[in-house]
Amino acid sequence: MKQQAKRILSVLLALVLVLCCTAVAFAQAPEEKTPIVLIPGFGQSETKVYDGEEYLGMINAFELPGLSVENILKAVLAPGVASILTRSDANLSKAVKGFMDELFKAFKTNPDGTPVYTKVVTPYDAAYSFLPPEKQQEVQHHIAIHGLDDYNDVRYFYSYDSFGSIKQVAAGLHRYIEDVVLAQTGAEQVILVPVSQGGTVLTEYLADFPGDAKYIKKIISVIPAFDGAQILGDVMTDNVTIYDVNYDHETVLPALLPGDLGYQVSLALRVALPARVIEKVLREALEEVRQLLVVNSSMMWALCPAADYAAVKDKYLSGAEHAAVRAECDAYDAARKALPATLNRLKDSGVNVHIVSCYGVGNIMPVLFGSGNINSDELLTPASSGLGATFANIGETLGDGYTAKGTVCSDPSHNHLSPDGMIDASTCALPENTWFFSNIGHTYVNTREDIKDFAAKLILQDVADIYSLPGYTQFNDPYERAAKSYETDNGVYYYDENNHYLFTDLKPQTQEASPFWKGLAGVVNRLYRMLETVQTKLHLDKLRPFA
């Protein structure tokens, strides 16, 4: 009996010892955190350019050291005066082209895609907590998702050249994940958070490194440029309004310049130069922008929508000197067309894949582009950031009798039509994993606590689909979510029911033009239109054109 009691006591003591050790082990085990890799958007990675020791500028911020009144006058004053006196293009367009070539010197890239000058992209080779204060401020400035503060020790920021090679940027992401993030944390997987242009980086990365799927736990894409930005497509296809000089004088200049200035500049140009000279200068200037910023950069081409790329690729990339860039662009075009299938394969393998899209704001500069009334978040259409959403233009709906196309989701029990009638999400590549927020501009997302809070939930929580996150549906109107608002002289501030700040509608600080300048500009513009009509009918343009 005593022996049996001793055995029982020994077993109990052993169990107590095991439980105590286990408790200590659990108490000391660090919280398992999956590293988060932020892939920022256009211009959000500090990129400095040098010609030897000479600093040429920070191209991500469009820093142009040569931009000054003195340099402008030096470049165009003489041909400008000559053009005014002769009522012709006395090398003015050539001078403007030359000035822009020098102004954007830091952006120059060879036809094979290699940079002319030395580029230095500032690396973020440690988690946020271990970065110096100035780099932490940069990260917060570009992507400030405050709900991730508890993950600062495993939150990373991948920087890249927005004007470089899409292949090199994708390869850089592969190395960054392997050699920096996983090596430093000891983790086996990461959460990828591509934002805006980061969506193009993700697209190429998934195509070039399919074996990296084993590293990916989640992909949370926030306003991703999966099919580029329509304004770049407009620039490359010449779908712009600036060649209509009358429209420039009556609409563009007054819209872009504050108060009386737009009308004053319009009048000065009307008197100084014929319309055909102004148009030639504008055409030369825009073509130089294309050549300097886009043509030799596959990263920039990746922001050109697929349909527009197909329309102009032979025009700009058919020469043998562009063979390397053309190959990268064609490969990217194939990768983005395969992206829906790629993401669905990842999703089927257990990767959480979610997309956050915004819409309902319109083009950021509608007076300049032919697609000015297109439905967008300022830059990206719902078809781009929503990966295939069908949409109506600004001020329109899909129609009262419209029924969902159901090309991807044809389940009749699923309602993928937005309440405002603008979006059909049944055509999205991931209709069950794509959320839409109305009336949020692309350039304001980083200041919007509401959408950043939502993104943080997707990043940190196990969210299955659009039906499984309490308080959110597939379509979200920020104004309906706001419970309180406070109006000040600067704007209206919105808060939720817990008095948590969401966003602000700032009052536009506009300077109204005076009736005198508006009226005078109107009279002069009408007069010039009459003179143009007369000279066209009488063929006087062959003698001395008025405009």
CB atoms within 10 A of CB 545: 17
Residues 13-40 have a mean pLDDT of 55
Q: Is the pLDDT of residue 520 over 80?
A: no
What is the rounded CA–CA span in Å between residue 262 and residue 243? 17
Residue 369: how many CA atoms within 13 Å on its side-chain side? 20
Of the candidates 56, 63, 59, 65, the residue with the CA atom closest to the CA atom of residue 45: 59
- Report the mean per-residue pLDDT for the chain: 88
The predicted-structure confidence for 129-151, as pLDDT tens digits, reads as follows 999 999 999 888 888 787 888 99
What count of residues does the chain have? Answer: 547
User: In terms of C-beta distances under 8 Å and separation of at least 24 residues, what long-range contacts does 182-185 make, across chains too?
Assistant: 182/35, 182/215, 184/126, 184/127, 185/33, 185/35, 185/127, 185/154
The proportion of the chain whose per-residue pLDDT surpasses 90, expressed as a percent, equals 68
Under DSSP, is residue 502 helix (H, G, I), strand (E, B) or coil? strand
pLDDT at 537: 63
> Lowest-pLDDT range, 161-170, 312-321, 502-511?
502-511
Mean pLDDT of 325-331: 98
Q: What angle do CA 484, 488, 494 make, to 5 degrees?
A: 25
The yes-or-no verdict on residue 454 having pLDDT over 70 is: yes
**Gap between the terminal Cα atoms of the chain:** 118
Question: Is there a domain that residue 215 lies in?
Answer: yes
Q: Which domain range does residue 472 map to?
A: 37-55+124-246+326-483
For 146, counting Cβ atoms within 10 Å of its Cβ (0-12 exposed, 13-18 middle, 19+ buried), the class is exposed
Question: Are 420 and 379 a contacting pair, CB within 8 Å?
Answer: no
Which of 6-20, 57-71, 103-117, 245-259 has the weakest average pLDDT? Answer: 6-20
pTM of the model: 0.89
pLDDT band at residue 31 under the 50/70/90 scheme: low
Contacts of 6 (CB under 8 A, 6+ apart): none
**Model confidence at 421, in pLDDT bands (50, 70, 90)?**
very high
Question: Is a pLDDT exceeding 90 seen at residue 499?
Answer: no
Please check whether residue 140 lies inside any domain of the structure: yes
267 lies in some domain: no
* Tally of domains in the chain: 1
Structural contact between residues 209 and 235, judged by C-beta atoms closer than 8 angstroms: no
Other CB atoms within 10 Å distance of the CB of residue 61: 12
Q: Ranked by mean pLDDT, which of 14-23, 314-323, 439-448 comes out on top?
A: 314-323
State mean pLDDT over 306-313. 98
Q: Which of 103, 83, 518 is nearest to 269 (CA)?
A: 83
Give residue 149's pLDDT. 87
Count the helices and strands in the chain (H runs, E runs).
19, 15
Task: Kindly tell me if the per-residue pLDDT of 330 is higher than 80.
Answer: yes
pLDDT at 32: 83
Question: What percent of the chain stands above pLDDT 70?
Answer: 90
The CATH number that applies at residue 214 is 3.40.50
The pLDDT value given to residue 180: 98
What is the torsion angle, in degrees rounded to the nearest 10, for the CA atoms of residue 308, residue 311, residue 316 and residue 319?
140
- DSSP for 461-484 reads S---STTSSTT--SEE-HHHH--E
Residue 509 located in a structural domain: no
62 domain residue, yes or no = no
pLDDT for the residue numbered 532: 65
- Whether residue 342 is predicted with pLDDT greater than 90 in this model: the reply is yes
Backbone angles phi, psi at 509, to 5 degrees: -95, 80
Q: Among 142-146, 178-182, 240-244, 306-310, which stretch is predicted with the lowest mean pLDDT?
A: 142-146
315 inside domain: no
Q: Rounded to whole angstroms, what are the CA distances from 375 to 100, 312, 382, 427, 446?
A: 32, 23, 7, 16, 20
- pLDDT tier at 19 (50, 70, 90 boundaries)? very low
pLDDT of residue 490: 84
Which pLDDT does position 9 carry in this prediction?
35
As a whole number, mean pLDDT of residues 386-411 equals 94
The more confident residue out of 263 and 167 is: 167
Q: Is the pLDDT of residue 174 over 70?
A: yes
Distance CA 294, CA 273 (A): 30
- In-domain check, residue 347: yes
Given pLDDT bands bounded at 50, 70 and 90, which one contains residue 536? low
Q: Is residue 386 part of a domain?
A: yes
